[in-house]
């Protein structure tokens, strides 16, 4: 993972840390950036990114002869020819209109698919910014009646009130697990429910959502009403999936500067293969869904048929085709910028769900309200190179890296204002320990309240383990809502 080595005067990352360097690598094609050392399985070579200078078409060294085309007036002279010309022109226009309509339809279909927000009653696509904003944009109000989230390290269930335009915890009075299953489905956990219980609210709420059991056989959201009193003095803590459980012990475990992982240490870590070769890492969030980096799935690798996912296997040498899972859908963040690596996150949905066991488990998505320390200890893991320009590791490695405050990472001596709110920095400014090429898309996790949380996905950096060039990660804490929307819309 590298950035323009001329920083801080350089502009933007041109190297993302995916790609596998086998012992006998495929021939490397010529590239506009000589220092980019990513290697892909042929013929899937990534474009040189970003292209800060405009692409200029190369001209032939010797001019080629051209015949002067006939003008329309010279062609359409006789009446018969004029009729033919008019007919041909009308036909061409009609074909153009049809093609434009098809392309527009495809664009709108894709737009709705990307946003993941569609009015079930009409098929209208609603912008994500209008979801749960207190205004009915769908004819039947679907954009406002399924607004649910989990808050803080205690997974407190909160429901959005369009009347008050704020989130409120759900009082545990009269609660049952059937309602918990319904709430989990509305977050995209269609076939998953773990537990629900009462906890003391720590969000500072003064108003609650309560169940009105006399409302009859109506759905959960139509049963809820506002109340300033909660008799049980507890609110609902909802776990849709068992996540964030690891067998890792407290030993120091190396990406660059770390050590090999043991079975069950990082059970959410997956290896993403193209044509039998490791290209990127990823993180399991449900049996069907994987979080990775958007730069890993840029064209032509945005087609799901290219990918195979391996889970629960520590060594690349043991990842055989029959042991992997095929991918059904690849969804990149709609606002991903390949030049700046802003919004560098993507999802993969598997064709068949993973079977969870001691070596294969989910990591927890970060909830709003998670309080992280300025130098919160985090862990990175992956099969990336153990030194810059080195060969991708055969075994899974891991190492601890602390978060770095954005203001510090954006200083002119580090990344000079290249870090956006959708990015997070972690590592050591003195160097020595870092993620590297081959680690892209893999997890940046932290342990809080005895649970492992997915804080980031490995995105970019300047070289590997260089001083004042720490690793940069997609800030998963700002993408949680987007992830839930995609899971819900692509069930």
Query: Are 348 and 329 contacting, i.e. CB atoms less than 8 angstroms apart?
Result: yes
Q: What is the mean pLDDT of residues 320-330?
A: 93
Of the candidate ranges 122-131, 351-360, 371-380, the one whose mean pLDDT is the lowest: 122-131
Query: What is the structure's pLDDT at 214?
Result: 82
Q: What is the mean pLDDT of residues 90-108?
A: 65
Please write the tens of the pLDDT for every residue from 111-159. 465 445 667 656 678 776 676 666 777 876 667 666 889 999 999 999 9
Please write the tens of the pLDDT for every residue from 8-63. 444 344 334 444 333 333 333 333 333 222 333 333 333 322 322 222 222 333 33
pLDDT greater than 90 at residue 85: no
Query: What is the structure's pLDDT at 171?
Result: 95
Active site residue 122: no
Domain 148-239, CATH homologous superfamily name and number: SRCR-like domain (3.10.250.10)
Query: Are 481 and 450 contacting, i.e. CB atoms less than 8 angstroms apart?
Result: no
pLDDT greater than 70 at residue 295: yes
Q: What is the mean pLDDT of residues 340-355?
A: 97
Residue 67 — pLDDT band, cuts 50, 70, 90? very low
pLDDT greater than 60 at residue 106: no
Of the candidate ranges 118-127, 209-218, 270-279, the one whose mean pLDDT is the lowest: 118-127
Phi and psi angles of residue 377, each rounded to the nearest 5 degrees, phi first: -70, 130
Which of 440, 457, 459, 462 is flagged as catalytic? 440
Query: What is the structure's pLDDT at 133?
Result: 63
Q: How far apart (Å, rounded) are the C-alpha atoms in residues 79 and 186?
A: 66
Please write the tens of the pLDDT for every residue from 305-316. 999 999 999 999
Residue 78 — pLDDT band, cuts 50, 70, 90? low
Residue 89 — pLDDT band, cuts 50, 70, 90? confident
Q: Which CATH architecture has domain 248-491?
A: Beta Barrel (2.40)
The two three-digit tokens of residue 10, written as one number: 């350089």
Of the candidate ranges 148-162, 247-261, 324-338, the one whose mean pLDDT is the lowest: 247-261
Distances (CA, A) of 399 to 372, 394, 444: 19, 16, 10
Active site residue 295: yes
Residue 467 — pLDDT band, cuts 50, 70, 90? confident
Q: What is the mean pLDDT of residues 457-467?
A: 86
Query: 3-state SS string over the chain?
Result: CCCCCCCCCCCCCCCECCCCCCCCCCCCCCCCCCCCCCCCCCCCCCCCCCCCCCCCCCCCCCCCCCCCCCCHHHHCCCHHHHHHHHHHHHHHHHHHHHHHHHHHHHHHHHHHHHHCCECCCCCCECCHHHCCCCCCCCCCCCCCCCCEEEECCCCEEEEEECCCCEEEEEECCCCCHHHHHHHHHCCCCCCCCCEEEEECCCCCCCCEEEECHHHCCCCHHHHEEEECCCCCCCEEEEECCCECCCCCCCCCCCCECCEECCCCCCCCEEEEEECCEEEEEEEECCCCEEEECHHHHCCCCCCHHHEEEEECCCEHHHCCHHHCEEEEEEEECCCCCCCCCCCCCEEEEECCCCCCCCCCCECECCCCCCCCCCCCEEEEEECCECCCCCCECCECEEEEEEEECHHHHCCCCCCCCCCCCCEEEECCCCCCCECCCCCCCCEEEEEECCEEEEEEEEEECCCCCECCECEEEEEHHHCHHHHHHHHHHCC
- The set of residues, in sequence order, having a beta carbon less than 8 Å from that of 74 and lying 6+ positions away, is none
Query: What is the structure's pLDDT at 450?
Result: 93
Query: What is the structure's pLDDT at 144?
Result: 67
| Total Cβ atoms within 10 A of residue 134 | 15
Active site residue 440: yes
Residue 77 — pLDDT band, cuts 50, 70, 90? low
Which of 173, 186, 201, 344 is flagged as catalytic? 344
Query: Are 407 and 419 contacting, i.e. CB atoms less than 8 angstroms apart?
Result: no
Q: Any idea where the domains of the chain sit in the sequence?
A: 148-239, 248-491
Query: What is the structure's pLDDT at 234?
Result: 95
Question: Rounded to an integer, what is the distance from CA 481 to the centroid of its chain?
Answer: 11
Which of 295, 332, 381, 457 is flagged as catalytic? 295
Query: What is the structure's pLDDT at 81?
Result: 61
- pTM of the model as a whole: 0.75
């Amino acid at each position: 993972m590298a950035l323009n080595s001329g920083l801080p005067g350089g502009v933007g990352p041109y190297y993302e840390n995916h790609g596998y360097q086998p012992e006998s690598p495929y021939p490397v094609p010529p590239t506009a950036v000589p220092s980019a050392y990513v290697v892909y399985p042929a013929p899937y070579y990534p474009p040189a990114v970003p292209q800060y200078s405009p692409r200029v078409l190369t001209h032939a060294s010797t001019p080629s002869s051209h015949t002067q085309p006939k003008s329309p007036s010279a062609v359409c002279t006789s009446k018969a020819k004029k009729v033919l010309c008019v007919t041909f022109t009308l036909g061409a226009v009609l074909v153009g209109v049809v093609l434009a309509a098809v392309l527009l339809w495809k664009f709108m279909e894709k737009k709705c698919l990307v946003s993941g927000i569609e009015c079930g009653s009409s098929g209208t696509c609603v912008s994500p910014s209008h979801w749960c904003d207190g205004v009915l944009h769908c004819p039947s109000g679907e954009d406002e009646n399924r607004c649910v989230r989990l808050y803080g390290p205690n997974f407190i269930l909160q429901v959005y009130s369009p009347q008050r335009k704020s989130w409120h915890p759900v009082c545990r009075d009269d609660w049952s697990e059937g309602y918990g299953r319904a709430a989990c489905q509305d977050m995209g956990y269609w076939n998953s429910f773990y537990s629900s219980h009462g906890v003391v609210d720590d969000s500072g709420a003064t108003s609650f959502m309560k169940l009105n059991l006399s409302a009859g056989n109506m759905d959960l959201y139509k049963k809820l009403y506002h109340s300033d009193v909660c008799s049980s003095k507890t609110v609902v803590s909802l776990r849709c999936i068992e996540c964030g459980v690891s067998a890792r012990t407290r030993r120091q475990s190396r990406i660059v500067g770390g050590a090999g992982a043991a079975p069950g240490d990082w059970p959410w870590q997956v290896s993403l293969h193209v044509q039998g070769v490791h290209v990127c890492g990823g993180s399991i969030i449900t049996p069907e869904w994987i979080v990775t980096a958007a730069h890993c799935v840029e064209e032509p690798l945005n087609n799901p048929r290219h990918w195979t996912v391996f889970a629960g296997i520590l060594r690349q040498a043991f990842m055989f085709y029959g042991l992997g899972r095929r991918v059904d859908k690849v969804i990149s963040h709609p606002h991903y910028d390949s030049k700046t690596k802003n919004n560098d996150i993507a999802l993969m949905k598997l064709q068949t769900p993973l079977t969870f066991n001691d070596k294969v488990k989910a990591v927890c998505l970060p909830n709003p309200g998670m309080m992280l320390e300025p130098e919160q200890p985090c862990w990175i893991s992956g099969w990336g190179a153990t030194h810059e320009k080195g060969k991708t590791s055969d075994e899974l490695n891991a190492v601890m890296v602390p978060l770095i405050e954005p203001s510090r990472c954006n200083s002119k001596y580090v990344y000079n204002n290249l870090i956006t709110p959708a990015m997070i920095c972690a590592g050591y400014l003195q160097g020595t320990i870092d993620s590297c090429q081959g680690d892209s898309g893999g997890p940046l996790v932290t342990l809080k309240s005895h649970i492992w949380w997915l804080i980031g996905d490995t995105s970019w950096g300047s070289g590997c383990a260089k001083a004042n060039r720490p690793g940069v990660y997609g800030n998963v804490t700002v993408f949680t809502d987007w992830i839930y929307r995609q899971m819900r819309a692509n069930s």
